[in-house]
Every structure is written in structure tokens, then in C-alpha cells.
Amino acid sequence: MKSFDVPVIYRSPLITAIKQKRKATDKMKKDFTPTRLDFGPLKIFLARHFGFCYGVENAIEIAFRTVEENPGKRIFLLSEMIHNPFVNDDLQARGVRFLMDTKGRPLEDIDALTADDVVIIPAFGTTREMEAKLRRIGIQVERYDTTCPFVEKVWNRSEQIATRGYSVVVHGKPSHEETRATFSHSEAHAPTIVVKDMEEALRLGQYIRGELPSEGFQEEFKGRFNDGFDMHRDLSRIGVVNQTTMLASDTQAIADHLRQVMMDQFGLDETSIHERFADTRDTLCYATMDNQTAVTGMLEQEADLAVVVGGRNSSNTSHLVELCEHRLPTWFVRSADDILSRERIVQGDWRTHGGSEEIGWLPERENVTVLLTSGASCPDAMVEGVIRRLAELFPGARAFEEVLQEWAD
């Protein structure tokens, strides 16, 4: 797989050494057991897969190269490059300005752009409408487009099943940039509707079966389907695609449920289900699945707590937190700066994207075991910072450099 030129400030000597050694012994990435870091009184189990994915590294490389190649020009990002505050702050410090916030609300006057300006499309992609608007201004959209290839894969798959007469059900967070972009690209080819979770998928199934009155559909899914969507016509043949950062297991469960609904409603079996339901399992992002599977493997270890590092509004990170919360106390931090002391920590809330200071997060005993992972938009340097900070909290812990040397040898 292609390697990218990511700024050294985002790299970590320890994490790089660990990843290289794990890759050398597990080239096919089939071993999801975590990596054990022994600091004496502190034991850390680091997830097998975590941190920057292909799409994020690609976006960062393009963004920083764009700044270097365009001195003196106005450079804009449509919205956050990725959902990590440190990367976005870094780009802003280099003069990059954001045109919109993550909800699509304007921060700058887009109509004031000129053909001489540079606009970077973030890793989440953007809508066809925004692409058209930028082109009318004279902006070279393709030149600085960092859309993740796996997001584009979902768009292409939607188009493919549309040509075979299927409508598209998008599993995603309706307000998320990627979901808005996927919806826009999908509705250009097929009737499209967005469901955010299994609860909504169950309700959609009830409408398909006729168990709920059709009048309620318009209100319940308002703003989630394209103009002209007809419930009876457009829910008779469907396929499910996803926002790539959702829980892979949730997307699969939603697809399995709706597949069964179509079998029941239309009297189909395994040999004929393709008449009403498209197979779209290949739209799941490999990095999302690897990171989530690695967390599942990590959770098999006995531990006192888990720490997840990443931006509070990061969808893929929030799902890692969600997975850990089902098993043991979990702390969601943006960086080592959120770990204030052995008693105090700033805990992120992935549901509200806020944070609050909490007391008594670390067990009051000499030996503690911590599970550690990070989201796909979190630099390895941030993970190393958390490891260093955790070790500092334990008197008598082995020096960080000593542990690093074990992996560097």
C-alpha cells in the first residue's frame, strides 16, 4: 500500500517501531491481539490497529503540500480536514481558512471566492451541489480533492446498484459531512434515504411491511430522503451502503434485518432475494473494520480501564469508545493534556461532543492495567503523549526510553 509524507510532528518513534514489528510478523493483519507495554506498575495493552488510516494520511499529505505549493494565495478548506482538533488547528495556523463548520453552516462568504483561490475538499468528500458551485466560480475542484478512496467506493457502489433498479439506504449520521456527501452522490442516480441506527431501520421495515401507516413515513424521515421519493415504489427494491466510519457490525445488522424484511414481504428465499435486495457488503471500510476488530481483541484482556484518544466529534473514534464502554470504565481524551493527574481527567462525551472534568478516574492501587487505542484521525504522536503521561502517574515506573528501546532493537 502507498506510503504518505505525513509531517514528522504527527509521528511517534515508539508507535512506528511497534507497527513495523507487528507488520513484520503479521503481514496479512490477521492477528488482532494487542501489544503489551510493560512499565512495571503500569501495564498498557495497545490495540493492534489504530490511528491514521490510508484516507487520513492521503488527506494530510495533500493539504500540507497544497500550503507549500501556493505561497501568497488564499487557501480554504470546505470544512474540517478530519475530525481531529490538533490537525485542524495546525492547518489554520498555516493560514488555511474553513469555509463551513461540520454542520455545513457558512464561516466565510463562499460567493466571495475567486478562480485564483485554492479550495481543499476534505477527506469526507462534499456534495455534488457544492462541487458544481465551486466549478462555476472557476475553482479547480479535482486538483485539491482529498476525498477518501473508500468514501468514493461507497459512492460508486451506490451508482452501480442504482443502474440495476435498486434504491439506496444509507446507514449514517444524517448531519455528518460524509453522509451528506454520500446522500448527494447517491440521489443523483437512485431514490435514497438515510437511517441513523437499528431503531430507525426497524421502523423502516415496519413501513415496508405495511405495519405502520404510510402517512407517518413522511414526517418520521423528513429531510432524510430525496425529492420525489415514493415509499411504496422506492422501498420495493433496496441496497444498504454506509457512512464508512459507522460501526461495521451495526451496518451489517441493519442490512441483515432489511434483507429479511424483503424476504418476508415479497416471499423470497436465498436464491431469489437478489430480486429485491442488493449485496453491498463490500462498502465497509477496511480501516474502520480493522480498528473495531482490534478493539474487540483488546477487550479480551483483563484490565482496569480503557483510554481512547481522538477528537470528540470523530465518528469512528466515538464508536471505539462505545465498544469499550460495554466492557469496562472508559475514558475519552483528546490528548495527554486531558489527563490532569491521578485523580483528575477531562472526560469527552462522544454523544454531545462536550467534555467535563471528572474525579477519581484511576484506581487507587499500585498496579494498574490500561487498554489503549485511538481513532483513525488521531496522530500517533498523540498516542505516544498519552502513554508518556500515564507512565508519569506511576512512581517507580520504567522510563519511557527504556520501553522504546525494547521495540527499537
Is the domain of 167 the same as that of 73? no
Relative to beta strand 330-333, strand 305-309 is parallel
Q: Given a cut of 60, is residue 104 above it in pLDDT? A: yes
| 229-279 pLDDT tens trace | 999 999 999 999 999 989 888 999 999 999 999 999 999 999 999 999 998
The pLDDT of residue 201 is above 60 = yes
208 and 84 belong to one structural domain: no
Q: Does 12 share its domain with 117? A: no
Q: Which of 144, 171, 195 is the last residue of a domain?
A: 144
Q: What integer pLDDT is reported at residue 288 of this predicted model?
A: 87
Q: Which of 180-189, 282-291, 393-402 has the lowest mean pLDDT?
A: 282-291
Q: Does the pLDDT at position 1 exceed 70? A: no
pLDDT of amino acid 248: 86
Give the rounded percent of residues in the chain with a pLDDT score beyond 90: 89
Could you tell me whether strands 354-359 and 344-349 are parallel, antiparallel, or unpaired per DSSP bridges? antiparallel
How many distinct structural domains can be found in the chain? 3
- Quick count: other Cβ atoms within 10 Å of Cβ 370? 22
Active site residue 178: yes
How far is residue 177 from each of residues 3, 214, 263, 326, measured CA to CA in Å?
26, 29, 33, 27
| pLDDT for position 253 | 94
Can you tell me the distance from the alpha carbon of 373 to that of 365, in angstroms, rounded to the nearest whole number?
Answer: 23
Segment 202-223 mean pLDDT: 94
Domain membership flag for residue 3: no
* Active-site hit among 178, 187, 200, 384: 178
Q: Is the domain of 30 the same as that of 66?
A: no
The CATH number given to whatever domain includes residue 370 is: 3.40.1010.20
Owning domain of residue 129: 55-144
Instruction: Please tell me the least confidently modeled range out of 223-232, 273-282, 326-335.
Output: 273-282
Percentage of the chain modeled with pLDDT above 70: 99
Cβ atoms of 26 and 294 closer than 8 Å: no
Digit-coded pLDDT (tens) for 107-139: 999 999 999 999 999 999 999 999 999 999 999
Residues 169 and 97 reside in one and the same domain: no
Question: Please, are residues 257 and 200 in contact by the beta-carbon 8 Å criterion?
Answer: no
Residues 277, 249 share a domain: yes
- The answer as to whether 299 is a domain residue is yes
* pLDDT, tens only, 181-200: 999 999 999 999 999 999 99
Residues with Cβ within 8 Å of 17's Cβ and at least 6 positions away in sequence, in order, are: 404, 407, 408
Q: Is the pLDDT of residue 141 over 70?
A: yes
Mean pLDDT estimate for the chain: 94
Give pLDDT tens digits for 67-87: 999 999 999 999 988 889 999
Q: Is the same domain home to 202 and 164?
A: yes
